[in-house]
A and B are shown apart, each in its own frame.
Chain A
Amino acid sequence: MPTVSNEEAKAAVQDRSGAQPAPGRMTRILDSDFFHAFLRSKVTVVAACGTLILFLLAFLAPWIAPHDPFDLASISIMDARVPPVWMDYSDPRFVLGTDDQGRDLLSGIFYGMRISLIVGFCSVFAAAIIGITLGLIAGYMGGRIDALIMRIADVQLTFPAILIALLIDGVANGIFGSLDRDIFAFYILIVALALSFWVQYARTVRGSTMVEKNKEYVQAARVIGLPSVIIMARHILPNVMGPVMVIATINLALAVVTEATLSFLGVGMPPTQPSLGTLIAIGNDFLYSGEWWIAIFPGLALALLVLNVNLLGDWLRDALNPKLR
């Protein structure tokens, strides 16, 4: 059994020799400034745990949710609009009550969060790919291409993302017609969100690319005759990824909120594949008749998710920015 000090010594040796087996890397992460700063901020630790728990609840929904809201056989309309367990006329099977079709709200929230997060991750990923590609091209090529891409970015920045997403959604509505829309809703939503959020990545990546491209390693790569595409993808890209990760974290929260808003407005996920926003929209119709839980619980879940991710993103931004220490 190796002791801790042995482990560290081994890690140090391995560092010097360049090899990086898993235990050495783990020790290094646990011993880094980054991790210590993380432990020092209690709020961040709580936020990280909260995010982890919510992610687990969402992605493990099919296994841990008490009911399957998509299984029509297990749903009974007789169970519709049952209040949460601590109220009168409740049913112990449904902890947070049921919605208008008798689906268990707690399970609905798990599944809804899953859909919200999948849409969020996909759209952040798509936006990052568009933004990074255009940013790399603009920063590396310079000249007219740079001017063109950055002007487009400027024009888009004058509009709030939600408006752009709404417009794209409206146009997609016009092209696909409302019948096909339900099938494509997921993809339309991701395209709309990705096209609304790419600008930030492009601007950041362009800035760091312009710095990196004058460094010696890029010049060396150019001298040995590597094509521009390889230089951009293999050599510059890894060195501009730091800030991208921060933007991606903050944008995940933003994408989840925007998705929820679009779904609430009725142009996002359809009721057949409800995200948190769709659930709130459904519940909103019953707010006036006193069945508040159908709207409020999904809303609280959404707020909790966004708050945790936001806290994490804020901290990450400060931790990776040495100027603010």
Chain B
Amino acid sequence: MIGFATRRFVQAMIVMLVVALLSFTMFRFVGDPVNQMVGIETSLEERESLRERLGLNDPIPIQFYHFLSKAVRFDFGTSYQFRQPVSDLFAKRIPATLELSFTSALFALVVGIPMGIFAGLNRESPVSKLFLSVSLIGISLPTFFIGILLIFLFSVTLQWLPSFGRGETVQIGSWWTTGFLTVSGLKALILPSITLGLYQMTLIMRLIRAEMLEVIRTDYIKFARARGLPDRLVNFRHALKNTLVPVVTITGLQLGSIIAFATITETVFQWPGMGLMFLQAVQNVDIPIMSAYLLLTAFMFVAINFIVDILYFLIDPRLRVGRP
């Protein structure tokens, strides 16, 4: 177990180093950092001294080392657009993205799992077939178009829910803001969370259905039924439990793509999160924000992957056999 975890950890560190190198290359070589910081009237001498002060004349490996040691302390330099430290900008926007991602993951699980169980147990029922067709449509509709359709239906036509922003937020502690505590905040969460979570929901539903179909064919389920155990017990205690292993993995991995797809949802709903800021950075070539976003999301992905690997190992005893 410790050997496995160590190996995975080393792999994760290598991935992070590679991403850091990419992010550094982007930061250093796409556009000239000095040109971005000074005005047109700055003299050549001043530029040169700024270059020296920023350490841009040092050998590249040393620059990379400085970049890394700063990144570890969450110092990603100054945004070209906002003239503010990138880390402050991110700190302000992380709560919005995390609350949105969390709510949509919750939505995907709470709706997707029961639908999947039902479709798996009642394979031939018309309701299951309806679920499947709806999920196929859900997979084929691009995220941003789902958002537009929801806005058109619930904000423009029915005028029930807001179409942009987070509503009123409440400050907790020094930097966290939450929309969970106000009515307008909760209302503002509904449409973006559904937009973001719909794809994951269909994915989870299909996964659970497939796993259920597989599990109820196994001998131990047949035996449990032969013993005369009530259906409820067989379905939930015996069958469902064994379908959960892949669900944990996929949900974990999907958490990463939820954060990535949040970029799209945040743009559609003008949600003031990291994704929207990243997109604006891409449009305006704000390299410090882009490289910081790359590093941050990479870190989240790698951390999630690592935790899922370890969880997988803990949940499924079969994996432990035969591993050193």
What is the chain A residue whose CB lies nearest that of B281?
A170
Q: A160-B256, A163-B297, A171-B30 are in contact. Are A267 and B287 (CB under 8 A)?
A: no
Q: What is the number of residues of chain A that contact chain B, defined by CB distance less than 8 Å?
A: 40
**Residues of the A chain whose Cβ atoms lie less than 8 Å from the Cβ of B143:** 261
Q: A287-B152, A303-B140, A307-B140 are in contact. Are A174 and B31 (CB under 8 A)?
A: yes
Residue B190 at the chain A interface, CB threshold 8 Å? no
**Residues of the A chain whose Cβ atoms lie less than 8 Å from the Cβ of B224:** none
Interface SS, B side: helix
Interface string of A154-189 (1 = CB under 8 A from B): 110011101100110111011100100000000000
**A303 contacts B261, C-beta separation under 8 Å:** no
Q: How far is the CB of B108 from chain A (nearest CB, A)?
A: 16
Residue A208 at the chain B interface, CB threshold 8 Å? no
**A299 contacts B148, C-beta separation under 8 Å:** yes
Residue B263 at the chain A interface, CB threshold 8 Å? yes
**Residues of the B chain whose Cβ atoms lie less than 8 Å from the Cβ of A290:** 156
**A159 contacts B31, C-beta separation under 8 Å:** no
Bound CA–CA A175/B26 (angstroms)? 10
Interface SS, A side: helix
**B267 contacts A265, C-beta separation under 8 Å:** yes
Residue A260 at the chain B interface, CB threshold 8 Å? yes
Bound CA–CA A25/B141 (angstroms)? 38
Interface range on chain B (Cβ under 8 Å from partner): 35 or more
Q: How far is the CB of A302 from chain B (nearest CB, A)?
A: 7
**B18 contacts A170, C-beta separation under 8 Å:** no
**B264 contacts A162, C-beta separation under 8 Å:** yes
| B residues 263-320 in Cβ contact with A at 8 Å | 263-264, 267-268, 278-279, 281-283, 285, 287, 290, 294, 297-298, 301-302, 305
- Among A166, A288, A295, find the residue whose CB has the most chain B CB atoms closer than 10 A: A166
What is the chain B residue whose CB lies nearest that of A311?
B136
**Residues of the B chain whose Cβ atoms lie less than 8 Å from the Cβ of A160:** 256-257, 260-261
Residue B19 at the chain A interface, CB threshold 8 Å? yes
**A280 contacts B302, C-beta separation under 8 Å:** no
Residue A284 at the chain B interface, CB threshold 8 Å? yes
What is the chain A residue whose CB lies nearest that of B286?
A170
